[in-house]
């Protein structure tokens, strides 16, 4: 391959899930997980997660065809199965999340302590997508912030 000009991806901006029951998914991601709705249509609910991530909830079966818009054509896509997403949470918020999920009636499917550090709590969304709430430590790029005072 020829030498490529330098260019950089800053981050993953949008992550997509395909859902069967949009009101149920909207409720789950907003009321239970605390996301903020930025766009709400029959086809797509876009949810802000923290300040830097966008979760796209697409009505399953509505996205396969290219979508013409005034500014250009959005290519088709679409997914099936039970996908996986992990969300970053602070280590100190694990008890709050356990309590929040318990109060909402959401079962914790599994807990994993990672060899490199960090803990993950696994749960399912209304479509059975596998969600993970992960504290810092498990990836070289996801480490606890250094303590300012030792």
| Binding residues among 35-54 for a copy of itself as defined by CB under 8 A | 35-36, 38, 46, 48-54
The dihedral built from the CA positions of residue 53, 44, 81 and 33, taken in this order, carries a sign that is positive
Q: Within 98-127, which residues bind a copy of itself (CB under 8 A)?
A: 99-100, 103-104, 109-115, 120, 122, 124
71/147 with CB nearer a copy of itself:
71
Which two tokens mark 130?
């596998």
Which two tokens mark 16?
């997509």
User: What string marks each residue from 5 to 34 as x (binds a copy of itself by CB under 8 A) or -?
Assistant: xxxxxxxxxxxx-x------------xxxx
88 binds a copy of itself (CB under 8 A): yes
83 by Cβ neighbours in 10 Å (0-12 / 13-18 / 19+) ranks as middle
């Amino acid at each position: 391959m020829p030498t490529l000009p330098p260019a950089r991806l800053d981050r993953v901006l949008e992550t997509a899930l395909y859902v069967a029951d949009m009101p149920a998914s909207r409720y789950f991601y907003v009321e239970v997980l605390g996301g903020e709705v930025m766009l709400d249509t029959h086809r797509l609910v876009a949810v802000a997660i923290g300040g830097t991530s966008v979760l796209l909830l697409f009505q399953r079966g509505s996205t396969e065809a290219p979508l013409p818009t005034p500014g250009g054509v959005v290519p088709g896509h679409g997914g099936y199965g039970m996908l996986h997403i992990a969300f970053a949470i602070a280590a100190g918020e694990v008890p709050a999340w356990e309590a929040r999920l318990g109060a909402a009636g959401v079962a914790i499917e599994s807990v994993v302590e990672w060899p490199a550090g960090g803990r993950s709590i696994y749960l399912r969304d209304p479509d059975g997508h596998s969600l993970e709430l992960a504290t810092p430590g498990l990836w070289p790029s996801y480490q606890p912030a250094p303590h300012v005072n030792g």
